[in-house]
Structure 1
């Protein structure tokens, strides 16, 4: 096995750099700006910096009942370490929880029209990424905030409009569903020319601090938390 790793991302040592910027200068940047630099290879504009900060902050945590938080706290209650418990939470992120950003970006950046996208998903019976939410029925306040900010910053473009068109097309064909935060993020990040393959990464980065906080709180609770369950089989 070769140890000859090569990367254009960063270097280590006394002259360490991140995407060509000296580490000392990166340390003076806002954390969200350094994340942008690391992932995209360039510094954000003032407008991009502001919306990216809102996107990360808006996804930092969302209560105790979602799959990733429940998973992280459950694993911690079994007597595991911080890294194991947080990793369990991250592993619980999937297509129905945080993972819809990637798929949403893919369909938005495709050549298919909103109507074609809705038709395909209706025929397959699958959920359209970015639409619907377990808690919000009328509007997702996180999505509203992100879209309003993107519009005020001049960052709202054809992909935001396409996401709205998908929402309207689905309402015409079946039922009106709220555009969730995944849909809002997918649209705005697409308008800022990001690759869909980073979709899940955005959510992982944003949600990890929340998982750390929940795991730390769980450390002060009794070990081995057992939830009530109901046997529904035959006697």
Structure 2
């Protein structure tokens, strides 16, 4: 008969980690063997994938994580964290406030782009050229939404993070670290958009598209593209929340108090 102690142990059993008095194992690896020897990006990979990446895989993952850490205080997740930090909720709650804003419309495009690129790769594997596969997939996606996730940017004519990230993927393809299929898919979509918009403002790949290429090339499922972005952006959220907590002010709105009217209009005002 199973004892209550054994039953409780089985209930909480997980392949991710195991602890006993004097022992901590992460994916069956003693934590003391990881400390000082294994980088943070490698440990992220280990916990999610149950093995350690090669040095080239780890470098590519780290590049994507670094690229997504911050995009200024106007980003909803960061603006919310900064306001929360002055409301007396504590640093942990300020960070959680920012993270909780990373939804479908802000933070979810990487996951959506992995799904879209997967559709392009699938169409190509069934015999379509990369160009035709991109056009077919784009048409299908734009029947649901006018936006194509991972392409275009409201602020940057050309996202400065695109080129260095894709250059790293090119290198990884050349040395056999990744296949390059998702890179081909993304470039095919980008080319189709450029052709369609000839003479208009181009819609190049943005950070969500470039990191989606990396996460997909490394074999991460689409939902983890969002999860990894959350990890990445949490760094910026933490930094902004910490800075705001030291300003000695109350940040309770999108503009400074000095630009607000002296008195809000009342119902009886003309």
* TM-score with structure 1 setting the length: 0.90
Choose from 120, 123, 135 the match for 2:140.
Answer: 120
Choose from 5, 12, 27 the match for 1:19.
Answer: 27
For residues 108 and 178 of structure 1, the distance between their equivalents in structure 2, rounded to whole angstroms, comes to 15
Query: Any residues of structure 2 matched to 1:199-214 within 5 Å, and which?
Result: 199-214=225-240
Query: Any residues of structure 2 matched to 1:1-235 within 5 Å, and which?
Result: 4-13=11-20, 14-27=22-35, 28-110=37-119, 111-112=122-123, 113-137=133-157, 139-154=158-173, 155=178, 157-174=180-197, 176-221=202-247, 222-228=249-255
For residues 67 and 101 of structure 1, the distance between their equivalents in structure 2, rounded to whole angstroms, comes to 17
For residues 226 and 196 of structure 1, the distance between their equivalents in structure 2, rounded to whole angstroms, comes to 34
Could you report, residue by residue, the CA deviation over 1:96-129 in whole angstroms, capped at 9, with x for unpaired residues? 3221111111121232421112112333333111
Runs of 5+ unmatched residues, structure 1: none
User: Does the 8 Å CA contact 1:69/1:214 hold for their aligned counterparts?
Assistant: yes
Task: Report deviation, 1:55.
Answer: 1.0
For residues 64 and 185 of structure 2, the distance between their equivalents in structure 1, rounded to whole angstroms, comes to 19
Give the SS at the match of 1:17.
strand
Give the SS at the match of 1:183.
helix
Give the SS at the match of 1:12.
strand
User: Does the 8 Å CA contact 2:169/2:183 hold for their aligned counterparts?
Assistant: no
Rg larger in structure: 2
For residues 215 and 76 of structure 1, the distance between their equivalents in structure 2, rounded to whole angstroms, comes to 6
For residues 156 and 55 of structure 1, the distance between their equivalents in structure 2, rounded to whole angstroms, comes to 17
2:127 counterpart residue number = none
Indicate the larger mover: 176-185 or 118-127: 118-127
Runs of 5+ unmatched residues, structure 2: 1-6, 124-132
Give the SS at the match of 1:101.
helix
For residues 238 and 254 of structure 2, the distance between their equivalents in structure 1, rounded to whole angstroms, comes to 22
Could you report, residue by residue, the CA deviation over 1:128-181 in whole angstroms, capped at 9, with x for unpaired residues? 1100112211x2121211110121233360111101111222333346302001
Task: Report deviation, 1:223.
Answer: 2.2
Give the SS at the match of 1:124.
coil
Compute the RMSD of aligned alpha carbons.
2.2
* TM-score with structure 2 setting the length: 0.79
Q: How many residues align?
A: 232
